[in-house]
């Protein structure tokens, strides 16, 4: 999955709840095109509300639509300067509680 992961970092002014709602709107838009089951099976994403970070895998056709919808909706709702987005070279390793950083 190299190069298929997009990481969105939102500014502190953007409420985490609004980011979550925008992500769900992007998923709903993808469902309208492809159906609920297909989106449920092929969309992969993660939202860290505390850090205001959203990660979406665009490695499938569905994921690619979700990335496009989310970027468009977030830009319209929050503005171009409210977040940054970058394509990641690899999926970050999960942090384990108590493990050295």
Distance CA(68)–CA(6), nearest Å, equals: 11
Q: Which residues are registered as beta bridge partners of 30?
A: none
Q: Is the pLDDT of residue 100 over 70?
A: no
Percent over 90 (pLDDT), the chain? 83
pLDDT in the model for residue 1? 44
User: pLDDT confidence of 2, banded at 50, 70, 90?
Assistant: low
CATH number of 5-88: 3.30.70
Q: Which residues are registered as beta bridge partners of 44?
A: 57
Distance CA(17)–CA(78), nearest Å, equals: 13
Residue boundaries of the structural domains of the chain: 5-88
Which tens digits make up the pLDDT trace of 30-54?
999 999 999 999 999 999 999 999 9
Which tens digits make up the pLDDT trace of 56-89?
999 999 999 999 999 999 999 999 999 999 998 7
Distance CA(4)–CA(58), nearest Å, equals: 5
């Amino acid at each position: 999955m190299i190069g298929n992961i997009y990481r969105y970092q939102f500014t502190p002014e953007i409420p985490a709840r609004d980011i979550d709602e925008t992500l769900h709107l992007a998923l709903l838009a993808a469902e309208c095109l492809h159906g609920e089951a297909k989106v449920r099976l092929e969309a992969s994403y993660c939202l860290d509300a505390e850090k205001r970070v959203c990660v979406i895998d665009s490695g499938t056709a569905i994921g690619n639509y979700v990335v496009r919808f989310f970027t468009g909706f977030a830009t319209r709702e929050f503005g171009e300067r409210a977040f940054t987005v970058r394509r990641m070279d690899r999926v970050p390793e999960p942090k384990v509680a108590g493990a050295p950083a």
